[in-house]
């Protein structure tokens, strides 16, 4: 399996293993592989269409993820929340927010 195929397969197998910095490095590697696959240049801020292509989700799902992001003071925010900011009425998502989302959604343990 090539490095790109491993990156595209996600962070599977890393749950509960390693420290958070390791997960961040893996998430960053995954995001770089996704950017390369989708022929999107790496930059500080992405448009919704680009994020939909990267995460392979619909615009409606992306909008729901962005709406789930709550005020930082919330004790247990929804792990699916994707932090964004608005330009007019259009969401913009930062590179750091995508990495955080990938880390959080690969290590999230469902409550029983």
- pLDDT score for 108: 52
What is the spatial order of strands in the sheet that 85-87 belongs to? Answer: 45-46, 90-94, 85-87
Across the chain, mean pLDDT equals 79
Which range of 10-24, 39-53, 67-81, 96-110 scores highest in mean pLDDT? It is 39-53
Percent of the chain with pLDDT over 90: 38
- Locus of tokens 């930082």: 72
Q: Are strands 45-46 and 90-94 parallel, antiparallel or unpaired?
A: antiparallel
Per-residue pLDDT of 57-101, as tens digits, reads 999 999 988 888 866 666 677 778 888 988 988 899 999 999 999
- pTM confidence score: 0.71
């Amino acid at each position: 399996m090539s490095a790109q195929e491993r990156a595209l397969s996600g962070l599977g197998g890393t749950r509960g293993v390693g420290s958070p910095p390791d997960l961040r490095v893996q998430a960053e590697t995954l995001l770089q592989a996704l950017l390369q696959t989708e022929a999107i240049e790496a930059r500080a801020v992405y448009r919704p269409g680009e994020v939909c292509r990267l995460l392979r989700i619909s615009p409606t799902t992306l909008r729901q993820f962005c709406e789930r992001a709550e005020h930082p003071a919330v004790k247990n925010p929804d792990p699916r929340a994707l932090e964004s900011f608005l330009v007019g009425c259009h969401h913009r998502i930062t590179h750091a927010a995508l990495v955080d989302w990938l880390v959080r959604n690969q290590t999230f343990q469902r409550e029983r």
